[in-house]
Amino acid sequence: MELEEYIKDATDEAMSDYIKSEKYKEHKKQINDLLRNMRENLSSEKMILLNQLLDAISVCDGAFASEAYLQGVVEGIALCKKKIKSV
């Protein structure tokens, strides 16, 4: 397994405290409440379109977050190596 795969696999574990936090749970609840209210007034066709939009946003944001985490770890390692060499 390559380093990139190890780092990406570690994301869930590294973020578990945040995912379990009250702040995160409250944000998720607010989003779910808004979605529930919006869906009540939509036709089935519009609901399908909304679900497709939300799925596309989730995939895009998830990929961005994963890439940002990976880049942060890689840059952190590089910075650590640079600091060690300068000592």
Nearest to 68 by CA among 1, 27, 15: 15
Per residue in 15-49, pLDDT (tens digit) is 899 999 999 999 999 999 999 999 999 999 999 99
The contacts of residue 5 (CB under 8 Å, 6+ apart) are: none
Per-residue confidence (pLDDT) for residue 1, from 0 to 100: 60
